[in-house]
Structure 1
Amino acid sequence: MTRSTARGWTGQIFRHVMLVTLTFLFVSSGAHAQSPLPDENQADWQLQTETDNIRIYTVKQPGSKFEAFKAVAVLDAPIENLMAVMINPRSCMEWVYNCSESYGFGDGNFHDRFAYSVNDMPWPVTDRDYVLRIRTRGDHDSGEIVMDLNATPDQRAESSGRVRVDQSDTLYRFIPEGRKTRMIWVQHTNPNGALPGWLVNSLLVDIPVRSMEALEEVAQKPRYQGFRLVWDQNGQLAGVEKSDP
């Protein structure tokens, strides 16, 4: 093996370890002494990458060395399928990059609930876990559904051998476009540990792309077909349920 080849492999392994580590940090959510999420419509978002159907933007966040990101995609799946995925507390393992454990807990409901998740990290990185408060709302007239995800680390005791991430905010917005759905994902995280801002910011674009591509595939699986949105008399989203055969 030549020295240049060994150095190249070492660089690839390092990048993989950091990508997997940062996946957890960006897809987990919380809000402790952070600035509010940036407005998804503000003018200073900078386009970083674009695939066939996904665009990733970043913007500097006041008081933080870590940037916020915005991912915009038109997913080839109806909004009912996507919401069927989202209400499944174990679906994190299906589409969130490197999520290894996930389940709901507590006495929550469709509109306000809690979930616990774990991301399995390659040695020597310590596994991360997080506790999310997930709030969901939707309006029949606009057709939009919005989910706010915020870490609430004190809602569950910490586990030995795992590092809890407790500073991040996330917003998912789903907008129906016929049998497809526009998804907007805005997130800002101050990750735990001594991770350099330049490295975190350089990988912001990889994580949402991988996750959104997986979400599109998962939403087309048979178990997520045949669902419908339930609206109350005021036109507010009341739930997601399996349609009658």
Structure 2
Amino acid sequence: MGSLHRIAVGVGLTVLMAATAQADNWQVAKDEGGIKISLSDVVGSQYKAYRGVTTIKASVGQLRKLQEDVVGACAWIHECKTQKVLKFDSGKVWTYTQFNTPWPVTPRDSVLMVTTEEGADGSLTRKLEGQPTYIPGVDGFVRVTQVDGFWKFVPKGADQTEVTYQVHTEPGGSVPSWVANKFVVDAPFNTLKALKERAEK
């Protein structure tokens, strides 16, 4: 049993290391206007993870206010139709969002649990975790089945913040490859661009 256990552990570690390596294999897909978008394959998924990075001339506090204005944030989130708070409890907030989608894709909606953590260096991390069964489905929308990601804000000198927005999504239902491939670039780029414009007004 000892040998079998060692083999099982070894195989498990190998799979874990392979998954980590694959998830970290980021390739730049777009670099424009000070916003860099990178994509990575995700083990077991046909959809790529995306990561957008930019520097915004605003403090972490200013960006936090824009983030925590859940209803108002819909104005700068890519293809957001409407957004609201479902629940707030002990530093966590549950949000519901409806998204526009191009024809012939059925519009999507999602429920997220957002957990905010403050770093000793003044940074702020907002973890995004999909909660697809938190509320019943809504007619006319397909529920996003999985969301795993984060926003990270790191202060860089006087009133400048490095912003990282990283997400992997399982959109649920059927999504044509051309739509999925466009979304993983457009979603982070357009979201960061709109956030940047709003914060730097």
- Tell me the secondary structure at the aligned position of residue 89 of structure 2: coil
Which of 188, 191, 198 matches 1:208? 188
In structure 1, the residue matched to 2:170 is 190
**Which residues of 2 match residues 211-226 of structure 1 at below 5 A?**
211-220=191-200
In structure 2, the residue matched to 1:128 is 108
- Tell me the secondary structure at the aligned position of residue 193 of structure 1: coil
**Which residues of 2 match residues 115-154 of structure 1 at below 5 A?**
115-121=95-101, 124-139=104-119, 141-154=120-133
Report if the CA contact (8 A) 1:45-1:57 is conserved: yes
Letter in 1 for 2:155: P
Distance 2:87 2:96 in 1: 10
TM-score (norm 1): 0.67
Query: In the alignment, is residue 70 of structure 1 matched against residue 51 of structure 2?
Result: yes
- Tell me the secondary structure at the aligned position of residue 91 of structure 1: helix
Distance 1:39 1:144 in 2: 24
Query: What value does the CA root-mean-square deviation take over the aligned residues?
Result: 2.4
Cα gap change, 1:123/1:71 in structure 2, threshold over 3 Å: closer, same or farther? closer
In structure 1, the residue matched to 2:68 is 87
Report if the CA contact (8 A) 2:105-2:175 is conserved: no
Distance 2:81 2:179 in 1: 24
Residues 88-97 or 116-125, more deviating = 116-125
Report if the CA contact (8 A) 2:112-2:131 is conserved: yes
In structure 2, the residue matched to 1:101 is 82
Which of 147, 150, 153 matches 1:168? 147
Report if the CA contact (8 A) 1:74-1:183 is conserved: yes
In structure 2, the residue matched to 1:60 is 41
Distance 2:71 2:117 in 1: 20
Report if the CA contact (8 A) 1:58-1:70 is conserved: yes
Give the Å deviation of 1:122. 5.3
Distance 2:142 2:116 in 1: 27
**Which residues of 2 match residues 41-56 of structure 1 at below 5 A?**
44-56=25-37
Letter in 1 for 2:156: E
Distance 1:181 1:59 in 2: 24
Report if the CA contact (8 A) 1:94-1:218 is conserved: no
Distance 1:114 1:69 in 2: 22
TM-score (norm 2): 0.80
- Tell me the secondary structure at the aligned position of residue 186 of structure 1: strand
Structure 1: state its 5+ residue gaps. Answer: 1-34, 222-245
Identical aligned residues as a percent:
28
In structure 1, the residue matched to 2:156 is 177
